[in-house]
C-alpha cells in the first residue's frame, strides 16, 4: 500500500501516472473493479473491523465525544452498507465521455462538449472511515485517481480499508496507484499535498473551519470546500406543529455528529407560545443542551437552559447542543441564516407557499428544504450512490459531490479539412 513510507510527492506522482492509465479504460472495466472492491469489503470484513476496534479503543482512551465515536465506529451492518454503496456507484451511468451538448457551426464544423475526468483528486478528511471507500469508489467511477489523507484518529481503519480497495482494483486490472493513502498525523503532509501543482488537480477537504483555514493558507492547487455545516430549521407562523416538532428533533437528534444536523432552531413569534414549550421538552428529553435567547427562555417553563451568545449562532456543535431563537418574520430568519449559516443545508417548516418561495429564493445555501429535515443532504439519499462531501461553495460544484461533480469537460471539434480564413 502507498503510505508515507513513500514521500507525499512520490505518492502523488504515482497517482498521476495511474490517472493516465485509468483514462484509457472503458466504463465496464472501472465498474468491474468497483464490484471487486465491494466483494473484498465483505470477504475481508473481519480484518477491517479489527482495525476499527483499535481506533475505537484509542478514541475511548482519548475521551472522544459520543458523536465523534459514532462517526468513527464500523460494524457489520455499516460495512455492508458501505459495500452496498459501492455497488450502487458501479450501477450508475458512466459520466466519462458523456456528451453534454453540441452543435454544428454554419461552416459545417461539429463542436461538442464532452465530460472528462479531472485526473488526480486528493481528499482530506477527519474521523469518518466510510469516507475512505465512498471517495475511492466515486473517483474510480469517474475515471480519477485518488490520494487520501485521513485523520490519525482513524488511522488503522483507513489503512485497512484503503489496502482492501487498492488490492481489489489491482486484481481487477486497474493500476493500484489509482487509490493511495498518506498518513494523517503530520500537518506538513497536508501542506505538501496542497502544493502539488501540475500533479494534483483538485483537493477536497471534509472537515471543520480549522482544516479550511489551513488549506487557505497553503494550497496552491484548486480546492473545493466540503466544509462545515451550521444548519438551521425555521418554524414559520403557519407551520404544522406536529411536522415542525418531528423535523426539528430529527434534524438535531438522529445523528448529531454529522454536517447536515441542525445547530440552530428559529421560531416565528406567532408560533413560539404554542410550539416552544412542546419542542424544547422533547429535545431536552433526548438529552439536548439548549442555548436560548431571552424570548425563548420566557416560554420554556422550568427547563434547564443556557443563555445563547453570538458564538452559539456561529457554532457547528457536532453534539447534542442546539441554539434557539425567536424571530418576528421570515425575513428576519433569512437574515439570521445568511449571516451565521455556512451555506450547507437550511429548512423551513411552513404552510405558506409564499413563505416557502421567499425562503427558497433568498436563503444562500447549497440545499434548501421546505417541510423536510436537513438530514436528507447526502449523495446517497439524492441518488448519487455516495458523495465525497457537500460543497458549500459555488464553483465548480455545489451541494453533494458525486461522479459528475468529479469531472470537467473538453470541447471536441470535428471538421473535414476546415481552415479558418
| In the predicted structure, residue 405 carries a pLDDT above the cut 80 | yes
Beta-carbon contacts of residue 310 (< 8 Å; ≥ 6 apart): none
The per-residue pLDDT for range 336-374, each reduced to its tens digit, is 999 999 999 999 999 999 999 999 999 999 999 999 999
> What average pLDDT does the chain have?
94
Quote the pLDDT of residue 4. Answer: 43
Q: Which residues of 358-388 are buried (b: 16+ CB within 10 A; e: fewer)?
A: bbeeebebbbbbebebbbebbbbeeebbbbb
Percent residues over pLDDT 70 in the chain? 98
| In the predicted structure, residue 3 carries a pLDDT above the cut 90 | no
The per-residue pLDDT for range 130-187, each reduced to its tens digit, is 999 999 999 999 999 999 999 899 999 999 999 999 999 999 999 999 999 997 657 7
Quote the pLDDT of residue 1. Answer: 42
Quick one: pLDDT band at residue 227, thresholds 50, 70, 90? Answer: low
- pTM for this one? 0.89
The per-residue pLDDT for range 84-96, each reduced to its tens digit, is 999 999 999 999 9
The per-residue pLDDT for range 40-71, each reduced to its tens digit, is 999 999 999 999 999 999 999 999 988 789 88
Quote the pLDDT of residue 376. Answer: 97
Q: Which domains does the chain have, with CATH numbers?
A: 8-226+388-414 (3.40.605.10), 231-376 (3.40.309.10)
Quick one: pLDDT band at residue 283, thresholds 50, 70, 90? Answer: very high
Quote the pLDDT of residue 317. Answer: 93
Amino acid at each position: 500500500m502507498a503510505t508515507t513510507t513513500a514521500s507525499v510527492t512520490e505518492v502523488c506522482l504515482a497517482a498521476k501516472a495511474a490517472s493516465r492509465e485509468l483514462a484509457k479504460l472503458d466504463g465496464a472495466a472501472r465498474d468491474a473493479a468497483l464490484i471487486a472492491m465491494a466483494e473484498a469489503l465483505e470477504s475481508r470484513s473481519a480484518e477491517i473491523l479489527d482495525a476499527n476496534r483499535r481506533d475505537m479503543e484509542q478514541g475511548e482512551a482519548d475521551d472522544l465525544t459520543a458523536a465523534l465515536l459514532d462517526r468513527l465506529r464500523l460494524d457489520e451492518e455499516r460495512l455492508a452498507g458501505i459495500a452496498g454503496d459501492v455497488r450502487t456507484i458501479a450501477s450508475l451511468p458512466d459520466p466519462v465521455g458523456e456528451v453534454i451538448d453540441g452543435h454544428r457551426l454554419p461552416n459545417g464544423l461539429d463542436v461538442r462538449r464532452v465530460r472528462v475526468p479531472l485526473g488526480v483528486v486528493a481528499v482530506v478528511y477527519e474521523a469518518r472511515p466510510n469516507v475512505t471507500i465512498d471517495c475511492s469508489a466515486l473517483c474510480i467511477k469517474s475515471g480519477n485517481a485518488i490520494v487520501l489523507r485521513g485523520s490519525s484518529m482513524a488511522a488503522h481503519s483507513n489503512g485497512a480499508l484503503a489496502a482492501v480497495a487498492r488490492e481489489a482494483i489491482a486484481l481487477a486490472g486497474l493500476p493500484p496507484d489509482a487509490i493511495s493513502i498518506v498518513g494523517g498525523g503530520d500537518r506538513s503532509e497536508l501542506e505538501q499535498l496542497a502544493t502539488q501543482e501540475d500533479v494534483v488537480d483538485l483537493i477536497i477537504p471534509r472537515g471543520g473551519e480549522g482544516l479550511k483555514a489551513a488549506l487557505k493558507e497553503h494550497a496552491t492547487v484548486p480546492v473545493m470546500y466540503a466544509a462545515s455545516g451550521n444548519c438551521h430549521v425555521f418554524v414559520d407562523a403557519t407551520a404544522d406543529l406536529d411536522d415542525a416538532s418531528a423535523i426539528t428533533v430529527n434534524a438535531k437528534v438522529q445523528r448529531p455528529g454529522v454536517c447536515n444536523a441542525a445547530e440552530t432552531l428559529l421560531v416565528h413569534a406567532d408560533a413560539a407560545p404554542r410550539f416552544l414549550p412542546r419542542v424544547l421538552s422533547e429535545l431536552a428529553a433526548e438529552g439536548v443542551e439548549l442555548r436560548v435567547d431571552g424570548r425563548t427562555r420566557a416560554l420554556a417553563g422550568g427547563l434547564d437552559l443556557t443563555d445563547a451568545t453570538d458564538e452559539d449562532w456561529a457554532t457547528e456543535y457536532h453534539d447534542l447542543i442546539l441554539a434557539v431563537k425567536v424571530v418576528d418574520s421570515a425575513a428576519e430568519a433569512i437574515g439570521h441564516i445568511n449571516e451565521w449559516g455556512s451555506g450547507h443545508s437550511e429548512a423551513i417548516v411552513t404552510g405558506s407557499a409564499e413563505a416557502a418561495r421567499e425562503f427558497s429564493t433568498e436563503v444562500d445555501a447549497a440545499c434548501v428544504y421546505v417541510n423536510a429535515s436537513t438530514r436528507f443532504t447526502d449523495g446517497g439519499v439524492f441518488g448519487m450512490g455516495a458523495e465525497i462531501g457537500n460543497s458549500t461553495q459555488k464553483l465548480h460544484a455545489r451541494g453533494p459531490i458525486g461522479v459528475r461533480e468529479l469531472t470537467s469537460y473538453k470541447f471536441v471539434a470535428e471538421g473535414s479539412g476546415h481552415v479558418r480564413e
